[in-house]
Structure 1
Amino acid sequence: MGLLVCLGIVALIGVLGFLALGIWQVQRLGWKQALIARVESRIHAEPVPAPGPAAWAAWAASAADEYRRVRLSGLFQRDRETFVQAVTERGGGYWLMTPLRTDAGFTVLVNRGFVTPEQRNQLTGAASASGGQVTIAQVPAAQITVTGLLRLSEPGGGFLRHNDPVADRWYSRDIAAIAAARGLGERGLGEVAPYFIDADATQGPAGFPVGGLTVLRFANNHLVYALTWFALALMLAAAATFVIRGECRLRRAVENEH
């Protein structure tokens, strides 16, 4: 009986483990569905003012405002723009991150949208036409209102690629690193917000950058995972029961022969 007892204990531990994993996935399913519903309600809501310095401490602790639609007005600081490598539904290129000095006195990095490598050359003046034509980057600053989604900083870099501020190579929208590299918060630009804004689907005067490309798809396979764990628990319980009952019958048969 010692072997059967050990087998039963091992099977019970396995079944309980699979059940615990299944219950955990059910809990994750509820969390993910709530997240999706919350984001959906936020992206279709009326825009609210972007959080100012007084709200940053609480916001940073909870990140409760992510994907909220916000509106802010001010002046773009075009001489401090940053291009962050990106792959979108339009192919490979860059996010154009431009600091916006708000009317409230603080600075927010705004992801104005996607540009191709060729468009980046135009924006930086590398592809300006001959004859003294003014490039887009040289257009004087003007008061502007931006509406978009509030996003969290992306520190560090991309997959297997680290941001290199010295070489001006960026693979993620790391607010602190970009602010330090561009000297934001200096020369009267005010404090820099710990978030950035993904601008809505608007285009620049030349048809780019293209905004509104925020990816809002959330993988939600938790139900499949939960059913898998529950099925494994059921199969293990059935297999253990079959083996133990068979062994018990065999032992009774041997005892009856004697």
Structure 2
Amino acid sequence: MTKRMILPLIFGVAGIAVLLWLGLWQMQRLEWKLGIIDAIETRMAAEPVALAELPQQLSKDVNNYQRVKLNATLTGREMHVLTSIKFKGPGFRVVAEAIWNDQTILVDLGFVLEESKNTPRTGEELQFIGNLIWPNEWDPAFTPEPDLTKNIWFARDLPRMSENFKTAPIMVVMQSATLVDGGEYNDTLPQPVSVNITNDHLQYAITWFSLALVWFGMTLYLLWRIKRKTV
């Protein structure tokens, strides 16, 4: 090995080591995230508990994703969160005000296409089954401020939304809604949207391992070129 090959070799080995470490770190994160998702999915699929039976002071640490049931009446006041769904296109998540237990709360009714955004959704008392959630979507650095004049939001943010409508800081993501007497009530409600937990760690790990392989190939090619020039 010539002296000219030492520095590229060190640079190549160091780069490969860093990329492999990043890939292994993402695999560790994947295992950690899968554990969290499994715990959340278990909680979301549990038998629903009456919201009125939970402590008055709900906590994100204790109650996030908990499956609940409640009887509530939609008031007709809504906030519309701009979003899109695969194979359906752009539309809005409808976060509605509802009267429950002599107070107002927020119910995420799900997704509607733009033409159905202003469909009236009020009337009978409904029994909702869904999950308590404290959304983690708002990023002050990247999320635009809501256009309150047009009633368009760009992310769900429970503190700001509850302050906007002066409701209790409670949001239930609807799974289903029925009339209190047991009848179906699906004519005007949006399409429920499941609570999804993003998990991109496997893709990230594959990316880092692929880059390590490319770096290894480029290092071999560079060393081969240097060797040819020195022969």
Alignment TM-score, normalising by the size of structure 2? 0.70
CA distance in 1, matches of 2:228, 2:112: 74
Given that 1:148 and 1:199 are in contact with CA atoms closer than 8 Å, whether structure 2 keeps it comes out as: yes
**Residues 216 and 160 of structure 1: CA distance in aligned 2, closer, same or farther (over 3 Å):** closer
More deviation in 167-176 or 227-236?
227-236
Unmatched 5+ stretches in structure 2: 179-183
For residue 54 of structure 1, what is the aligned residue in structure 2? Answer: 57
Q: Deviations over 1:96-131 (max 9, x none)?
A: 32223432x6542112334455544441xxxxxxxx
Give the fraction of aligned pairs with identical amino acids, expressed as a percent: 26
Aligned in 2, Cα 1:82/1:247: closer, same or farther, shift over 3 Å? closer
Task: Measure the CA separation in 2 of the matches of 1:214 and 1:31.
Answer: 22
Q: Is the 8 A contact 2:96 2:107 kept in 1?
A: yes
2:79 — aligned with what?
A: 82
104, 107, 132: which one pairs with 1:150?
132
Task: Please name the residue that 1:196 is paired with.
Answer: 171
- The letter for the 2-side match of 1:196 is M
Distance 1:92 1:235, change over 3 A: closer
Give the equivalent residue in structure 2 for 1:170: 153
In 2, the alpha carbon distance for the partners of 1:227 and 1:121 equals: 44
Segment of structure 1 superposing worse, 19-28 or 168-177: 168-177
| 1:1-258 matched pairs, under 5 angstroms | 2-50=3-51, 52-56=55-59, 59=60, 62=61, 65-73=63-71, 75-76=72-73, 78=75, 80-88=77-85, 90-103=88-101, 107-117=104-114, 119-123=116-120, 137=122, 139=123, 142=125, 144-153=126-135, 154-155=137-138, 161-182=144-165, 184-185=166-167, 192-193=168-169, 195-202=170-177, 205=185, 207-214=187-194, 216=196, 218-220=198-200, 222-233=201-212, 236-237=215-216, 240=219
For structure 1, the 5+ residue unaligned runs are 124-135, 186-191
- In structure 1, what residue type is equivalent to 2:174? A
What's the secondary structure of 2:189's corresponding residue? coil
TM-score (norm 1): 0.64
Deviation at 1:2, TM superposition (A): 4.5
Give the whole-Å Cα distance in 2 for the aligned partners of 1:54 and 1:85. Answer: 30
* Distance apart, 1:55 and its partner CA: 3.5
Aligned residue identity for 2:32: W
Deviation digits for residues 146-186 of structure 1 (CA, Å, limit 9, x no counterpart)? 210222234369x875312244333333323333332x14x
Give 1:216 shift.
3.1
Amino acid at match of 1:71: K
Cα distance change, pair 30–167 in 1 and its aligned pair in 2 (3 A): same
1:84–1:52 Cα change, 3 Å: farther
Alpha-carbon RMSD: 3.8
Inter-partner Cα distance in structure 2 for 1:168 and 1:119: 14
How far apart in 1 are the matches of 2:129 and 2:32? Answer: 28
TM-superposition CA deviations, 1:7-34 (whole Å, max 9, x none): 2321221121111111122112213322
The alignment partner of 2:106 has SS state of strand
